[in-house]
Amino acid sequence: MLLRDAFKTATRSLTHGKMRSVLTMLGVVIGISSVIILMSIGQSAQNLILSQVQSVGSNLIFITPGAPSGKGFSPPASVQGIVITSLRQQDVDALQREPSITAVAPLTSGQAEVVYGNNNKTVSYQGVTADMFPIRNLTIGEGFAFTKGDVDSANHVAVIGPDLAKTLFGSALSPINKTIRLKNVSFRVIGVLSKGGAGPFGVDQGNLVLIPLTIAQKQLLGISHFNTIIAEASPSYDINFAKSRITFALRQNHGITDPAKDDFNIQTQADILSILGNITSILTLFLAAIASISLIVGGIGIMNIMLVTVTERTREIGLRKAVGATDNDILQQFLIESVLLTFAGGVIGIAFGAVIVGAIYFGINTFNPTLGWVFAFPLSSVILGLLVSGIAGIVFGIYPARKAGKKNPIDALRYE
């Protein structure tokens, strides 16, 4: 039988029972659209996270305490509850002397309840130097950032995120020159950041409190080490050269001769992007794998209906065999029917998925325009959707089709 005729015959059979075909397809439509939607959302989230990391500048080098994690990813030591005090002021001083580094900004951080009047919220706070604002592209929407003098004099000043400003002061009241309390220490608000949303490393910039490093170390945390040092590589040098210089300087400072015993971890933005990219890709795949369960359910639905169809059309199979159809002709016809069903389901699923992904994009950008959510509809998910739906047709259609092909013409013609 010519393939063209087989397609014509299969299409005719499917259009004859339109409602049944549509309902049978529904499982595949839901399965494929779920996979597409979750893959697209995963891609959008990945783009968002990566763009936020990129926004802090491509020439930044992040130094954290603790041994390097090697090839695989492991969370920083501080996240695991281990306090490592290896990064100190002498490291910052050494890096400031390094010609391949243009700026160095140490950072300490913690969590505490911030209070203004009757309003309060538990937030992340960071003790930073004045250099941190230009290095991390932190722009001030209202008021101003604190200066080197504020840090050196340990002045009780703070710059807060825009969402926190709204929570504590409402929309009507200006936060500037108001006094807030953080761990029972008073701070005068002198500036509000212009941009909220999630910042790099999962910090919610909208609810962040930035205070001078000296105050954070002495009064809030009672420590003399840093949680992170951010260094800005000079554009005149290759970033990997700067990285190697930092390694050299820190090993010298810490008296390390064996590289395996490093007590610090250096990551460039590219390293972080690669790690985050891997994490989000795995997460996206994981979501797609969960969604594909519904695709399997849809496929079983197709197999079930195809088995019913084969039984219902037993006499037709008998007749076709009587007039010359071979086992393969019959198998081909029913297999094409199931592939057409799943493929059509796949195409509709992709279209439906695109509509939902578009709706999510408009929804997020309407309610939270500052988040910067991007529309992502990766071509790979479309190709995957079409491929998977076609394969599902073969996988779930082969058993009913073989059953049809193997029917004995005499028994089939006698079937009532």
Residue partners of 47: CB distance under 8 A and separation at least 6: 374, 376
User: Which range touches another protein (CB under 8 A), out of 3-11, 18-26, 302-310, 372-380?
Assistant: 3-11
CB-nearer residue toward another protein: 148 or 315: 315
> Alpha helices of 255-378 — where are they, by DSSP H?
269-312, 314-322, 327-367
5 binds another protein (CB under 8 A): yes
Place of tokens 């501080």: 78
> Alpha helices of 56-98 — where are they, by DSSP H?
89-96
The CB-of-394 to another protein minimum distance in angstroms stands at 22
User: Which range touches another protein (CB under 8 A), out of 25-33, 122-130, 293-301, 313-321?
Assistant: 313-321
CA distance 347 to 25: 10
Instruction: Determine how β-strand 185-193 pairs with β-strand 264-268.
Output: unpaired
CB-nearer residue toward another protein: 5 or 152: 5
CA 97 to chain centre: 38
**Three-state secondary structure call for residue 211:** strand
The CB-of-356 to another protein minimum distance in angstroms stands at 36
HSE, side-chain direction, 13 A CA sphere, residue 29:
14
**Three-state secondary structure call for residue 140:** strand
CB-nearer residue toward another protein: 13 or 267: 13
The CB-of-274 to another protein minimum distance in angstroms stands at 57
Closest CA to 416 of 335, 343, 311, 340: 311
Contact string 14-53 vs another protein (x = CB under 8 A): --x-------------------------------------
12 binds another protein (CB under 8 A): yes
The CB-of-408 to another protein minimum distance in angstroms stands at 8
Instruction: Determine how β-strand 60-65 pairs with β-strand 264-268.
Output: antiparallel
Residues 318-377 that bind another protein (CB under 8 A): 318-327, 329
The CB-of-279 to another protein minimum distance in angstroms stands at 55
Point out which residues bind another protein (CB under 8 A): 1-2, 4-5, 9, 12, 16, 315-316, 318-327, 329, 409-410, 413
